Structure 1
Amino acid sequence: MDSPSRRPDRTISAMPQHTPPAPVVNDPATTPSALRRHLARWPTGVAVVTTVVDGRPVGKTINSFHSTSLQPPLVGWCVDHGSSQLDDWLAADGFVVHVLSADQIPLATHFANRSADRFAGIEWTAGLDGMPLLVADVPLRLECRVRHRLPVGDHTYLVGQVVDLTAGPAIPLVLQR
């Protein structure tokens, strides 16, 4: 290790300084709508998650997906307790996460709608345990078996163990505001 006298001179520069806004007392950001609006500043990926319940395909657009553990390989996402599909997701033995590409906004919009049959007009094939695999080319697809269902506030956190994955070269879709 070099002695302090032999180390080359190092210059540390700081990011340009700005004056932070004054703290706000009783910030309305604690309301659900304000918190959602403020958190929209944070960019997040967009995915479609699919499953099968009683032989019927189920799917929805999510932006709460993330890696949970590498050993064992676990991923998670959250479903709102107000979702019309909550019972389906709580009954599902597994799920497939399809990370969408930057040019798949129409697919994200399609699965975000509240129609009863979100698979109308969508090409898919059966994967693990019959779960729907979207035929669309996606940057990443993870087939998972549910390992944990954890109620957290007004959502349930679903954790799945990755049992198969397919990766492609497409650039992922990112949502911000």
Structure 2
Amino acid sequence: MASRASSEVPAPGFSVPIPSLPKLGRTWYERGTLYWLSRARTTVAMLLVMAMFGFFALGLYSGVRDELPPTARLVWDGVQVVASAVTLVWGWVSQRRGHREALLHPPSPGETLRAKRDHNRRVPGRIALGRGLVLIAAPVMPAFAAWIVGWLAAWLTVREYPSEVGARRWLEEHATAP
């Protein structure tokens, strides 16, 4: 009989193996160095994405802005500054509310994996659709980019992801006394 792989050895006090979560693997259980390195890697990647998206949004906006007369340009820039500040806060608040709701009803490890698979299947179609919408949204791209930055910044600064809470609860439900 073959021995179990180290990744399938149950955690102390549990009769089932620790479930693996997308992007975190099994590091979420102990929250050690590998866990925090994974979170840091995600944070750095998302900061780069936010910077590139912001640069892209401002570049697209400047193309529209340059076509406006000087007075309209000044007014529209003021509108964009105010709209961007509002949408930055709106993105942060909406993510935090969604996170709070997700913590009340966290997904099981199986649901997390299914959601990740479904998301990966949907992405290419959304990218193709998004290209056309970006051109239409060019005049308000700074505000849209600010919402995305607010949402991602709030997502990156949570203490624990709902998938971790769900996996922890699932593990506790399936625990048996040794």
Q: Same fold (TM over 0.5)?
A: no
The TM-score range, normalised by the shorter chain, is under 0.3
Q: TM-score, normalised by structure 2?
A: 0.26
Structure (1/2) with the larger helix percentage = 2
Structure (1/2) with the larger strand percentage = 1
Q: TM-score, normalised by structure 1?
A: 0.26
